[in-house]
């Protein structure tokens, strides 16, 4: 039978689900979701663990089952962070693999949202396997960006800028280093590392020659975002970006089309760190989902505003945001917000 209650979930299954989430994070972010699985014996012992290592490789459940001898999974429980898939793509259906292995019970977290791949839980239940759902919210949080891509066809976009209290991103002569202090700049590097890609415009590349790497003290192998440069001007051969460890990707002016192309290549999240022109273009197009804004306690005046025209002509057209976090970073204030549709 299938259920979504938690009364029948054992302590061993809860522990296995926490472990499965840890295993999922060992896999890469990309076109497919990060998924972890743990196989438990009928008395709650861990028999095997597995995770998905990327497109074309065995899914987490199959990876775990492959570590068991034939018949060893009979009567076992599979605990997995995502509902077992029910379709044949580059690999076969995980629901069928579990049935063929003789698994008697499946506990999963998030439901599979795919039109072709969903239905695994129902298929298992019809075949007589006990199916329960556990920690659905945690399971969805684990693959939140991937789920966003499935719903929208594009990566989730975070737009970042730093500004003075009077809304300026630079002094009148264009100089901007540094408006914010070291604590805020360190936070930016952590944000870079937390995103799959980072975007700037060619104007920023030509003016600032940024590296766009994530540099975190004490962390030598911090995940690096793929740099994406929007615009049509050539990038100099000597630009610092050409030495980026992830390489370099160029993009045209059609932001929505470029975002869909990034999603097709497995990019789930994009951090827009360009200047006012690029940030405003994303906002104006309705393609900014989250905002990370650093407010420095300083006044600059002049024309160099942090945001340009975003298509707001009257007060009734204002783009309202929901503030999700306020934090003091040294002397600066971090404001994180989302569009109301993200709530």
74-84 CB burial, b ≥16 within 10 A, e <16: eebbbbbbbbb
Candidate list 49, 61, 83, 258, residue with the active-site label: 61
- Could you tell me which residues are annotated as the binding site for NADP(+)? 162, 178, 204, 208, 275-281
Q: Is residue 305 exposed (0-12), middle (13-18) or buried (19+ Cβ within 10 Å)?
A: middle
- Whole-angstrom distance, CA of residue 164 vs CA of residue 173: 15
- Could you tell me which residues are annotated as the binding site for substrate? 176, 192, 212, 215, 273
Compute the half-sphere exposure of residue 246: CA atoms within 13 Å on the CB side of its CA: 22
Q: Which of 182, 180, 187 is nearest to 158 (CA)?
A: 187
CB 112 within 8 A of CB 80: no
- Could you tell me which residues are annotated as the binding site? 59, 85, 94, 162, 176, 178, 192, 204, 208, 212, 215, 273, 275-281
Positive/negative CA dihedral, 22, 23, 24, 27: positive
Tokens representing residue 175 in the block: 């100089």
Give start and end residues of each alpha helix (H) in the chain. 11-24, 60-65, 94-101, 120-126, 136-142, 144-152, 182-194, 202-208, 255-264, 276-284
- Could you tell me which residues are annotated as the binding site for Zn(2+)? 59, 85, 94
Q: Is 183 a catalytic residue?
A: no
Q: How many residues does the chain have?
A: 343
Catalytic positions: 61
């Amino acid at each position: 039978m299938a259920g979504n209650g938690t009364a029948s979930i054992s302590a061993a299954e809860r522990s296995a689900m926490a472990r499965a989430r840890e295993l999922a994070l060992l896999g890469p972010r990309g076109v497919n979701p990060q998924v972890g699985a743990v196989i438990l014996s009928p008395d709650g012992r861990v028999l095997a663990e597995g995770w998905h290592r990327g497109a074309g490789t065995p899914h987490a459940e199959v990876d775990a089952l492959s570590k068991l001898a034939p018949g060893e999974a009979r009567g076992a429980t599979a605990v997995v962070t995502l509902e077992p898939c029910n379709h044949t793509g580059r690999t076969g259906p995980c629901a069928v693999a579990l049935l063929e292995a003789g698994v008697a019970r499946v506990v999963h977290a998030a439901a599979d949202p795919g039109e072709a791949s969903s239905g695994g839980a129902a298929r298992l239940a019809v075949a007589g396997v006990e199916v329960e759902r556990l920690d659905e919210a945690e399971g969805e949080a684990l693959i939140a960006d991937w789920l966003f891509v499935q719903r929208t066809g594009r990566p989730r976009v975070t737009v970042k800028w730093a500004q003075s209290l009077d809304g300026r991103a630079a002094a009148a002569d264009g100089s901007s280093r540094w408006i914010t202090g070291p604590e805020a700049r360190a936070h930016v590097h952590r944000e870079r590392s937390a995103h799959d890609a980072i975007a700037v415009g060619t104007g920023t590349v030509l003016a600032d020659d940024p590296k766009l790497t994530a540099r975190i003290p004490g962390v030598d192998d911090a995940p690096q975002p793929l740099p994406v440069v929007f615009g049509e001007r050539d990038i100099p051969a000597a630009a610092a970006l050409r030495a980026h460890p992830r390489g370099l990707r160029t993009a045209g002016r059609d932001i929505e089309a470029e975002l869909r192309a990034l999603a097709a290549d497995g990019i789930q999240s994009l951090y827009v760190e360009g200047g006012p022109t690029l940030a405003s273009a994303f906002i104006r197009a309705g393609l900014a989902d989250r905002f990370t804004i650093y407010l420095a306690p300083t006044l600059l005046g002049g024309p160099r505003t942090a945001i340009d025209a975003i298509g707001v002509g009257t007060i009734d057209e204002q783009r309202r945001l929901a503030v999700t976090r306020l934090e003091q970073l040294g002397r600066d204030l971090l404001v994180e917000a989302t569009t109301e549709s993200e709530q």
